[in-house]
Structure 1
């Protein structure tokens, strides 16, 4: 028996352990057998303060399942010994672990090579940049319920890859927040439940406008300001408004029997160009609330907000008002957004879990919320991604609450997300420490020296690092 990286254990057990059990038991230590075929953990019962040892093996669908346990032990030492004994004496019962359906397979190509998304093709490269991401997605695939029957086809294809990666990311995040899933309905995309509280969620994304063979191009600051006037807000608004008018079985989502009376959330991601989610974030605030807030440094060192409200947007000759001011949007409780629902996220989570090619180093630079008083600039953090990191699926999740929603969303059910509320003319936010606003991941191959870790709180520090490492 040998220690198991907690990041890897959390990945392998994400969809194995019941969320309720996770709430009443605190998992303390993780272990695997010498040949890595078995995993187990020692936990503390939060109620009676006893210790439990749990042993898990893979069934024929490659899902981990509980095969042996020893409960109500008096100490963590007894838990470790019990787990070691179980691993040493365990005999696999093939009949008991046999399932009717075969294991899911996302990666055997079923789409012609010319129709495959380039990122899917890169995932198949055993020596490529995304070997860790592939390991993560493969583990997740064993638990995925393909209700439409077309997930694998779309996951591999040019037109479907981005949307399916976004859905996989959301699925992991909701589970990390300890939600159960109701798979009895094909629409909306998710019906999640916690403590009897059900929420309907539909995944939306901005379609790619940049060609797949075009080089990535981040606009200049001046270009971004120009794009934020109309282009980017309307780019977010168009798919959200289209989804609002979409029907399933000739009914809008909020009228479906399994959705009616429950909060309805649209979860949107921006895939219109490579790396567009690193800078387009302000556009969603503009199109939802019609506001533009600027932080102003006063001479006495304090900060004040300069707020412009009532902004509308022009599309040719048509004036478009903010979405949350449209009466029809009262049926939408909130909009969820994240800049992190992309392939590099899965790659970072995989490196943390010990997957990947040792010749490749991941280096992440992220901007995150600065909680210091009178701060204008975000914190900027740079670090090598390794097994010591503790990134979560929740990092980067932003939830924008509709102030006019008929059925408001209760923020406490998403404790690890950033929450944003419009009140008294201002957008007020409750955000976890070091919560990501924007992130970029550099994949460095066969380089012995990588930039150092840093945590910057000022523009002077940032300029110094940029100059030194020529980023």
Structure 2
């Protein structure tokens, strides 16, 4: 509902009809700052609102599989319509740009992974990779030192790029479509052959993460620490997420 109301308020202002925007692709960028750590879990809400569909896990032919879960309305008593990009009612909106990592942690990681880590601290990123295995139902947990070769090697640049978590959702009914070449390193969502396709230039895609800054004289956080905290339903203490 927060994403839907925010986008709706912007559309109501008809920025697309301003002289400098008229006749050109009109794009809105949104991010989630509603609460501490909310970027770690709200991404699926935006996807469900834009596409008008989500997924659930059900047993099919004796094994768990992802099953599409279409929706005409968002959860809640307001019955706000879902599927902003499911019809041509908002053809003026060409695309929505979203990232779940536009925070101070991102600003720190780009510089630190590029070799600018201040001495005396340890910088660790934990989270979930997108599992590209066909039929995978969960992400792949990770815990990596941001200054390590393993972390820097996730991207061809040799450091974390600004576009690593940027996603562009294209409106299939857009009056003025957006070229992928405008943001070539972003992850792009577009409708093709009756289904939504997700295209990314990076092999490593991070679904959500948390950045931990600790003293270098303390024991480094481990993946087991992360998994044990997740099993208890708690997060690891951190000034950033």
> Normalising to structure 1: TM-score of the pair?
0.43
Q: In 1, are the aligned partners of 2:98 and 2:167 still within 8 Å (CA)?
A: yes
Deviation, structure 1 residue 347: 1.1
Q: Could you tell me which of 171, 187, 203 is aligned with 1:418?
A: 187
How far, CA to CA, are the matches of 1:466 and 1:328 in structure 2? 41
User: What are the ranges of 5 or more consecutive residues in structure 2 without an aligned counterpart?
Assistant: 153-158, 237-241
> In structure 2, what is the Cα distance between the partners aligned to 1:417 and 1:236?
20
**1:275 corresponding residue in structure 2:** 37
Evaluate the alpha carbon distance shift between residue 407 and residue 361 of structure 1 in structure 2; reply closer, same or farther with a 3 A threshold.
Answer: same
Match of 2:112 in 1: 351
SS at match of 1:270: coil
Q: Does 1:312 align with 2:79?
A: no
- Is 1:257–2:27 an aligned residue pair? no
Which structure 2 residues correspond to residues 10-409 of structure 1 after superposition, within 5 A? 234-246=1-13, 252-294=14-56, 296=58, 298=60, 305-313=66-74, 316-317=77-78, 319-325=80-86, 327-386=88-147, 388=149, 389=152, 390-409=159-178
SS of residue matched to 1:377: coil
Q: Distance in 2 between the 1:346 and 1:424 partners?
A: 38
The count of residues paired between Structure 1 and Structure 2 equals 223
Task: Decide whether aligned partners of structure 1 residues 344 and 463 sit closer, same or farther in structure 2, where only a CA change above 3 A counts.
Answer: closer
Residue pair 1:368, 1:379 contacting (<8 A) in 2 also: yes
The structure with the largest alpha-carbon Rg is 1
In the TM superposition, what whole-angstrom CA distance separates every residue of 1:147-187 from its partner, at most 9, and x where no partner exists? xxxxxxxxxxxxxxxxxxxxxxxxxxxxxxxxxxxxxxxxx
Cα displacement (A) at 1:436: 1.7
Q: 1:439 aligns with which of 184, 205, 209?
A: 209
Q: 3-state SS of the aligned residue for 1:441?
A: strand
Larger % of helix: which?
A: 1
Q: 1:333 to 1:276 in 2, by over 3 A?
A: same
- Residue 274 of structure 1, CA deviation: 0.5
Using CA pairs under 8 Å that are at least 6 residues apart, name the structure with larger relative contact order, 1 or 2: 2
